[in-house]
Structure 1
Amino acid sequence: MAEATMGGVRAKAAARPQFYFWMACACLAIAVVGFLPTYFVPMAQGRYAAPPIVHLHGMILFSWVAFFVFQSWLAARGKVADHRTWGLVGVSILTAMVFIVVGVVSMRIRQASAPGVPAAITDGVLGFAWVSISAIALVIPAFILAMVYVKRPEVHKRLLLLLTVSLLGAPIARWFLTFSAPPPAPSGPPLPADIAAMAAPPAMVAVAPALVGDILLLIAMGYDWRTRGRPHPVYLIGGAILVLQQLTQPQVADTAAWKAAAIWIGKMAG
């Protein structure tokens, strides 16, 4: 009986890395499918024009999700030493991600603050910038903690899953915008194409896609419940912080304090 019990425990422990590998694959699938209608398909058709920094931004963020799959695969295969060695690449990708996101946000704010741009568009870009910056504000401490707990895999892998799930609101939002975007206002003359392209949606539109992405965390919590009897504190505490950040995005984005900070970020673009 004791041997059978121990065998069941070992089987559950062996299954956990496989679970996290498939969760990583789900994150990658969401990222790829999410950007199909607004990035991959238009680019393949020659209809997508953007500054090089935007393409670099996409490449770095996709690199993180693909790297997360690779690292999860190494862990699932039991190649712990290789997993830790390759972890240095993850540090580089995450660092590049922080700089490129801030760089793109700064560029967008700078463009929207140029003379001749309607105040409504400038104000909208300033507000929506909080969606990207608040995501980075959560990613950085989550990654630092994951590195601190690198020798505690049960904490380490959950922090990295939480971090990656927190980035999925952007690709999911592309489908919301593709199929649920409101029609253009019929009144008033149309804006020039270059100015219209600067417009950003209200921060409120980012909330629902982000919460849809959180379903992956609910699945992970359910898996914890089944395999360890209760959700891990990383999901309970980190998940609560993530949901709070997502739900408060519209309120913070509309504050004068944030818009003043956004203007300062815009000055970083030169």
Structure 2
Amino acid sequence: MVATTITPVRTSTGYFYVWMAGLCTLIAFGGFAATYWLQLAAGTFVGQPILHVHGLIFSAWPLLLLSQTILAANGRMEHHRAWGVFGVALASAMVILGLTVAIRGLNVRLAAGEGNVARAFMLMPLGAITIFAGLFIAAVLNVKRPEWHKRLILAATCAALFAAAGRVGFLIATHGGGPGMRPGTGPEPPFSTPAPDGVLMSLVLMIGVIYDWRTRGRPHPAYLIAIGVFLAHAFVGPIVAHTAGWYAAMDALATLGR
């Protein structure tokens, strides 16, 4: 009787994460559709080869999350753990590639004369990469605490999707973009509060908060911590990004890509 009562709850909870992983996958591919995937199909995408490697690696992450949640929901934990090792390698590659592409982009914009606008805009990619890395490391450290681990992995994925969410503002500002257009191919708009990426992805995590409230009676601390970090990035980050200290730090960082 006990087994009959508990099993459906576990299955329902497990498949909640499958649905969330599916939503993250839609955001990842949908967010980049107009500025990458459709342009790639039409032959209008303009960019260095490293951008294709970057796109491939970052696109693999939500797909891995989806497959991992399906394995966990179906009780295939031995396969889930085995693929987790690949996840560590993939996350490491994402951080390295993310930093490399961000620094290269900064140098291109500085050379184009964008100055402090380019320096301030660096908070977007650097913030996303740093938050992703921090949440992923926390998830790995909590691998034996599954309630923390799975929520931190979901939150890390949302951080990795900041760029996809940020494309929404770009498409609105450019009236849907156009052939060859993407953030970085023209002067960046002034970076102001709030940063839309952190706000939008906080709303995605709020789905988890609401689900926890309905199934646990309270939200898990992992969600609250992640949302707090996302909102700090969205509201406090842009203020920091327009300080002399940040500008100096970005000039120092730019020298690494020269």
What is the CA–CA distance in structure 2 between the aligned matches of 1:205 and 1:41, rounded to whole Å?
A: 30
Give 1:45 shift: 1.0
Give 1:198 shift: 4.8
Structure 1 residue aligned with 2:178: none
What is the CA–CA distance in structure 1 between the aligned matches of 2:53 and 2:188, rounded to whole Å?
A: 20
1:123 maps to which of 111, 116, 134: 116
Structure 2 residue aligned with 1:154: 147
2:30 maps to which of 29, 33, 38: 33
What is the CA–CA distance in structure 2 between the aligned matches of 1:174 and 1:127, rounded to whole Å?
A: 17
* Amino acid aligned to 2:26: A
Aligned 8 A contact 2:14 2:72 in 1: yes
TM-score (norm 1): 0.86
What is the CA–CA distance in structure 1 between the aligned matches of 2:39 and 2:75, rounded to whole Å?
A: 40
1:175 maps to which of 168, 171, 174: 168
What is the CA–CA distance in structure 1 between the aligned matches of 2:13 and 2:4, rounded to whole Å?
A: 15
Q: Tell me which structure has the larger Cα radius of gyration.
A: 1
3-state secondary structure, aligned to 2:160? coil
Instruction: Report the number of matched residues.
Output: 252
2:230 maps to which of 229, 232, 242: 242
Give 1:168 shift: 2.4
Q: 1:205 to 1:51 in 2, by over 3 A?
A: farther
Aligned 8 A contact 2:193 2:235 in 1: no
What is the CA–CA distance in structure 2 between the aligned matches of 1:154 and 1:96, rounded to whole Å?
A: 26
Aligned 8 A contact 2:24 2:158 in 1: yes
What is the CA–CA distance in structure 2 between the aligned matches of 1:172 and 1:139, rounded to whole Å?
A: 14
**1:232 partnered with 2:220:** yes
What is the CA–CA distance in structure 2 between the aligned matches of 1:24 and 1:197, rounded to whole Å?
A: 31
Within 5 A, what are the aligned runs for 1:71-150?
71-114=68-111, 117-118=112-113, 121-150=114-143
Structure 2 residue aligned with 1:216: 204
* Amino acid aligned to 1:264: A
What is the CA–CA distance in structure 2 between the aligned matches of 1:55 and 1:82, rounded to whole Å?
A: 29
Give 1:113 shift: 2.9
Give 1:206 shift: 6.9
Aligned 8 A contact 2:107 2:257 in 1: yes
Q: Which moved more, 1:197-206 or 1:74-83?
A: 197-206
1:267 maps to which of 210, 234, 255: 255
What is the CA–CA distance in structure 2 between the aligned matches of 1:43 and 1:211, rounded to whole Å?
A: 29
Q: Deviations over 1:182-210 (max 9, x none)?
A: 8xxxxxxxxxx9xx835223333772243
What is the CA–CA distance in structure 1 between the aligned matches of 2:21 and 2:234, rounded to whole Å?
A: 21
* Amino acid aligned to 1:202: P
Where does the alignment leave 5 or more consecutive residues of structure 1 unmatched?
183-192
What is the CA–CA distance in structure 1 between the aligned matches of 2:137 and 2:208, rounded to whole Å?
A: 21
**1:199 partnered with 2:196:** no
Where does the alignment leave 5 or more consecutive residues of structure 2 unmatched?
176-180
What is the CA–CA distance in structure 1 between the aligned matches of 2:202 and 2:126, rounded to whole Å?
A: 19
What is the CA–CA distance in structure 1 between the aligned matches of 2:185 and 2:30, rounded to whole Å?
A: 23
Q: 1:209 to 1:130 in 2, by over 3 A?
A: closer
Q: Which moved more, 1:204-213 or 1:21-30?
A: 204-213
Q: Which moved more, 1:6-15 or 1:53-62?
A: 6-15
